Amino acid sequence: MLAQAKNFARNTFLAGVFAAIPLVITVFVLWYVDHLTREPLKELFGIDVPFAGVGLALVGIFALGLVVRSLIGRYLLAAIDRLLLKVPVLAEVYKAWKQISLTPGGSSGIYSKVVLVRLDGDAWHLAFTSGEPIGAGSDAVCVFVPTTPNPMVGRVLFVPLSRCRPTALAVEEVFKFLLSGGNYVPDEVAAATQSDRAISNLPPQPAA
């Protein structure tokens, strides 16, 4: 009875912690943006409305998203990418950052493709991969299997290509699925379990 009570208390506490983490992070980000922008808005425009800076930040992010998704925006991003890759010293730092950054629709790095991986038994695991073999003559690829509800934590594994199944999922969709704890399951997941295509033939994942 005592062991069961301890397990119940521990699991309940951990459930509370995991539920509180996204809420605390959201509140902190809102407070920080408001604290950072409220005084400049008051001095420049005479606006002293709580969280006005948050609203402007959201509008700015949305506008940036429109620019990035446009033809001109993609051209500018490609030009900036080529430029940064030619700058001494900075180029190496930029290459390393591209390998770990989350870039929707990117063509390189561990987040460029979303796959389902069969690790043991009949279970499938959502994973990210570049789809590139780990070495010459090898049929194994490196995959990152994230956990829920924190998709930035997980396991890095080397698995045969035959154990991977491609999906048409965008990276953002996978993050939404993981953060929901499985309450939201994209339709593409079911379709991917029936797929026999090789991930090497897949284009980069689309942006949501």
pLDDT digits 0-9 by tens, 60-79: 888 887 877 787 877 887 88
Q: What is the pTM of this model?
A: 0.48
Instruction: List all residues 6 or more positions away from 128 whose beta carbon is below 8 Å from its beta carbon.
Output: 110, 111, 112, 113, 114, 115, 143, 144, 146, 171, 174
> What pLDDT is recorded for position 205?
47
Read off the pLDDT of residues 112-158 as tens digits, 9 standing for 90 and up. Answer: 788 888 877 667 888 888 878 887 777 888 888 888 777 778 888 88
Partnered with residue 144 across adjacent β-strands are 128, 156
> What pLDDT is recorded for position 133?
82
